[in-house]
Amino acid sequence: MTQYKLISTWIAAVAIVLPAAAATGRHAITTGQIAAAIRGAGVAISAKQITLLTGVVARTGSPVLRVQSMEPLGGRRMKVRLECANIEECVPFYVAIDGNGESSGESLPVTPAPGRTPAHIARVGTGAKTPVMRAGSPAILLLDGDQMQIQLPVVCLENGAIGQTIRVASMDRRQIYTAQVFDGGILRGRL
C-alpha cells in the first residue's frame, strides 16, 4: 500500500510540474533559425548541416540570434557558438556544422561569403577604437569555464572599445575582474 501511495504522489507531482514547465514560455530554437543566423554571418549552410549539441530554448518563439565564434572541429566539421541578441532571451550555446551533409547523403559545403572566413567571423568587431563601454556604466560579464558559464551584473571601471580588456567590478564593488569588451553592454572573461 505504501508503494502505491508513493507512485500516486509521483504521478500527481508530474501532473502538476509538467503543465507549469510548459507555461514558463520556453520555445525551442530550431536548426532553421540557427542556419539563418549563420548565413547572416556570411557562411552558406542549410539546416540539414546543423547538429544541436543540446536542446536550446528561448523565451520567445523567434529570437534574434548572432554568431559569437566559429572553430574547426576537424575534417569538414565546425563548432559554432551562438547567442541571442537580447541576452535575457537565451543562454549562449554551441552547435556543430557538418560540411559533408551526412544526414541527407549529399555534399553540402560550408562556404564562407567573399571576404568573410570563419576566422574573420570570430574576430568581428575587434578593430573598433571608439569606446562602447564607459567608466561607471553597468554591463553584463559573461565568465566562461570549461563546463559552465556565469553571467554577472558589473560596473565598468574604465572606458573600453570592442576587443579591449578593461577592469570591471561587481555591483557591490567587492570583486574586481578583467574582461574583454565584446559588444555594447557585454563583456567576456574566463573562469
pLDDT at 111 (0 to 100):
47
- The amino acid sitting at 46 is S
Q: Is 103 left (phi over 0), alpha (psi -120 to 50) or beta?
A: alpha
For the stretch 164-190, pLDDT in tens is 889 999 988 889 999 988 776 788 888
In this structure, are residues 133 and 159 in contact, taking their beta carbons and an 8 Å threshold?
yes
Q: What domains are there in the chain, each with its CATH number?
A: 27-122 (no CATH), 131-190 (2.30.30.760)
Evaluate if residue 14 carries a pLDDT over 50. Answer: no
In this structure, are residues 96 and 53 in contact, taking their beta carbons and an 8 Å threshold?
yes
For 155, the grid coordinates are: 560596473
pLDDT at 48 (0 to 100):
92
pLDDT at 39 (0 to 100):
87
pLDDT at 9 (0 to 100):
52
- The amino acid sitting at 26 is R
- Mean predicted confidence (pLDDT) in 135-151: 85
Please state, for a pLDDT cut of 90, what percent of the chain lies above it.
Answer: 12
Global pTM reads: 0.46
| Phi, psi torsion values for 164, nearest 5 degrees | -80, 155
pLDDT at 127 (0 to 100):
43
Is the four-CA dihedral 167, 170, 173, 174 of positive or negative sign? negative
For the stretch 105-115, pLDDT in tens is 443 445 444 44
d(Cα 143, Cα 174) in Å, to the nearest integer? 17
